[in-house]
Structure formats: structure tokens, C-alpha cells
């Protein structure tokens, strides 16, 4: 049986991938929660278990190929593809422009049934760009799957007719620093993702 949303949340928490406190996000906004997906993805066995739940829920899509955006989507596409017995291909950022493309001699044939996977859906940008890259290549997107949907349902709406599987939906509120309640309370803030690996635990 696949994992429940609560079990997925527990994997993120116990891995240190779901932090609660007071954080500055890359956008400059503040949030009491932070997701660092690579704290989970660095564990192949945990990634395997999460992907097994994705696989259980996407089998009906009959995907022939799995595609994911760099960087976390590479890991997930590889593992989902391994479990489905399909290929896994990666959509990389276009140099100097918006959007993504398939390089490295990844051919997609017209009509090929492609499942798009990614780790965390925020605005949905990476997933949408990967969908566009699949369509640019002439193939068709049969579904999308993510570990976490933190878009509050907005991302699924933007995908329109493409079915979305999300293992865990979490609301992560963000604030303009000027109206951040934790700043108002004088709570110390940290900027995650900026400490070199190895230094984090020593502090």
C-alpha cells in the first residue's frame, strides 16, 4: 500500500526536510515553514518509498517515459522510471531564456506518453515548463506527479486537463518582511540553504 499524506509528512519531518521556525526565503519573503527537499532526496531508500506511492497512483496513465525538471526532478524521474520500467529524461533550463528543453540526445517521439514528475510544486513553474518541453518535442503529457503540492490548489488548476497526483498538500504561508508576525515578535531569523554542507550541524 502507498503512503498516506501524513506518512509523507513524517518522512519530510524526520529527514529534516520540513523545518518550522522563522525563515527568509529565496524570494525575500518570510515564512514560519521551510522545505528542503534534498534532505529527503539524499536518501535513496526514502525516495524509493515515496516514488512507490507515486507509481501506484500513476499506473493507469500508462506512461511510456517519465520526465522531470532539473534538479530534484532528475532524481524522481529516474526512480519512478525504474519502478515503472520506462525511460527517464530530464528537462533542463534553456540557456539565457525562460523555459526548459530536452538535451543530451533525449528523443521523444510524436505521441509518446510522458509522465512529468517533480518534487515540490509551488507556483508550478518547473512542472509547466517541463510539460511545454514535452509538447515542443511532439510527445503528449498523460499526467503529472509531485511529492508535495504547496500551491493551495492553484497549481492543479493551471495544469487544466492534465491529472495531477500530489502525495502531500501543505500550506506554507509567506509574509512581506514588513508585515511578518514573527519579525514583530522579535523571533530570530535564518536563511536556509546558504550554509555549506557540514557546517549546519556544527552550529
- Closer residue to Zn ion (CB): 29 or 93: 29
Q: Is 35 exposed, middle or buried (0-12, 13-18, 19+ CB in 10 A)?
A: buried
- Closer residue to Zn ion (CB): 105 or 188: 188
Q: Which residue matches cell numbers 509531485?
A: 146
Taking only Cα atoms into account, the Rg of the chain, rounded to an integer number of angstroms, comes to 18
Q: How far is the CB of 171 from Zn ion (least distance, A)?
A: 17
- Closer residue to Zn ion (CB): 30 or 150: 30
Q: Which of residues 162-201 bind Zn ion (CB under 5 A)?
A: 180, 182-183
30 part of the interface to Zn ion, by CB under 5 A: yes
Q: How far is the CB of 187 from Zn ion (least distance, A)?
A: 7
Helix residue ranges, H only, 15-146:
38-41, 44-58, 72-84, 125-136
Q: Which residue matches cell numbers 520506462?
A: 86
Q: Among all residues, whose Cβ is closest to Zn ion?
A: 180
SS3 67: strand
- Closer residue to Zn ion (CB): 39 or 182: 182
Binding site for Zn ion (CB under 5 A): 30, 180, 182-183
Amino acid at each position: 500500500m502507498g503512503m498516506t499524506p501524513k506518512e509523507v509528512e513524517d518522512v519530510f519531518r524526520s529527514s529534516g526536510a520540513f523545518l518550522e521556525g522563522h525563515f527568509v526565503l529565496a524570494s525575500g519573503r518570510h515564512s514560519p515553514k521551510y522545505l528542503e527537499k534534498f534532505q529527503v532526496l539524499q536518501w535513496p531508500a526514502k525516495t524509493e518509498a515515496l516514488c512507490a506511492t507515486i507509481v501506484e497512483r500513476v499506473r493507469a496513465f500508462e506512461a511510456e517515459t517519465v520526465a522531470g525538471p532539473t534538479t530534484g526532478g532528475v532524481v524522481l524521474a529516474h526512480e519512478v522510471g525504474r519502478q515503472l520500467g520506462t525511460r527517464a529524461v530530464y528537462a533542463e533550463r534553456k540557456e539565457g531564456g525562460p523555459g526548459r528543453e530536452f538535451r543530451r540526445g533525449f528523443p521523444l517521439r510524436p505521441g509518446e506518453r510522458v509522465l512529468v514528475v517533480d518534487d515540490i510544486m509551488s507556483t508550478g513553474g518547473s512542472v509547466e515548463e517541463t510539460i511545454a518541453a514535452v509538447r515542443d518535442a511532439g510527445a503528449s503529457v498523460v499526467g503529472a506527479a509531485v511529492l508535495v503540492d504547496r500551491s493551495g490548489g492553484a497549481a492543479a488548476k493551471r495544469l487544466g486537463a492534465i491529472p495531477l497526483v500530489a502525495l502531500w498538500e501543505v500550506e506554507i504561508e509567506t509574509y512581506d518582511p514588513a508585515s511578518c508576525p514573527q519579525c514583530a515578535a522579535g523571533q530570530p531569523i535564518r536563511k536556509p540553504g546558504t550554509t555549506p554542507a557540514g557546517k549546519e550541524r556544527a552550529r
